[in-house]
């Protein structure tokens, strides 16, 4: 099997055609405890990261937003407040369990009128060209098999003047932070996963997938290669997380 036919699943090499299925298995397993685990893993800071990402999107009333890999709907709820009744948010995820949980959660919050749902693959978005003012993918790009294809697909569905927001775990800018983060990720995180989500392996994969994700400057170049302009990134929590932003001109 050639290198073009394989990709990484955490630290393992797997057939490219198998990765989506393997990732789906991870999120099927953790969906029920996903929100609780997010709070535990980040000490609740993920809520601040998401709010900053939404602020950087500059989404306004009446706009059309695509929330890719939207999971349980945290970003969709924040975007819904910004677009108002005149706008629309489309929450999509490749995983049916995550999408179902997100839909139920948003309906329970009374958010329904201007939110749509779709189960789709980020690499092949089934939307027309120039459809959205903003495309956001939060903590999802690292799980995509072909990131370049996904970025091109996001660029295609954006309107001219639209922007992409990529919120993702990244690479610490400080050596001490990096060492502490590694200790936490590979020692404590899987144990929390075992106790709370009853799934140690999935959280070990999530830690590994973060390390395999492109570094900040590399992802910035990938976005530019996909057609985005004025690409930039904003490190948060000493680079543990970064928000990347680019525009379709």
Report the binding-site residues for S-adenosyl-L-methionine.
72, 93, 121-122
Q: Which residues contact 226 (CB under 8 A, 6 or more apart)?
A: 148, 151, 152, 154, 155
* Count of alpha carbons within 13 angstroms of residue 247, beta-carbon side: 10
Radius of gyration of the chain (CA): 17
Q: Which residues are annotated as a binding site?
A: 72, 93, 121-122
Query: 76-99 burial by CB neighbour count: b if 16+ within 10 A, else e?
Result: bbbbbebbeeebbbbbbbbbebbb
Tell me the C-alpha distance between 128 and 210, whole Å. 31
- Residue 225: C-alpha distances to residues 124, 127, 221 (Å): 18, 21, 6
User: How many residues make up the chain in this entry?
Assistant: 249
């Amino acid at each position: 099997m050639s290198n073009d036919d394989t990709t990484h699943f955490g630290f393992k090499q797997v057939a490219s055609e198998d990765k989506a299925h393997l990732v789906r298995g991870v999120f099927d397993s953790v969906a029920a405890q996903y929100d609780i685990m997010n709070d535990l893993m980040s000490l609740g800071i993920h809520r601040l990261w998401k709010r900053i990402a939404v602020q950087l999107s500059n989404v306004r009333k009446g706009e059309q937003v695509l929330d890719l890999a939207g999971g349980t709907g945290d970003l969709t709820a924040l975007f819904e407040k910004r677009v108002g009744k005149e706008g629309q948010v489309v929450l999509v995820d490749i995983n049916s369990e995550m999408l179902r949980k997100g839909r139920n959660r948003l309906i329970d919050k009374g958010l329904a009128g201007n939110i749509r749902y779709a189960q789709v693959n980020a690499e092949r978005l089934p939307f027309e060209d120039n459809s959205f003012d903003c495309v956001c993918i939060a903590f999802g790009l690292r799980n995509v098999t072909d990131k370049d294809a996904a970025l091109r697909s996001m660029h295609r569905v954006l309107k001219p003047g639209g922007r992409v927001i990529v919120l993702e775990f990244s690479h610490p800018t400080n050596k001490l932070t990096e060492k502490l983060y590694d200790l936490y990720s590979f020692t404590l995180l899987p144990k929390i996963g075992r106790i709370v989500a009853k799934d140690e392996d999935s959280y070990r994969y999530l830690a590994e997938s973060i390390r395999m994700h492109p570094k900040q400057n590399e992802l910035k170049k990938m976005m530019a290669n996909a057609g985005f302009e004025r690409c930039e990134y904003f490190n948060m929590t000493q680079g543990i997380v970064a928000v990347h932003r680019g525009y379709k001109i």
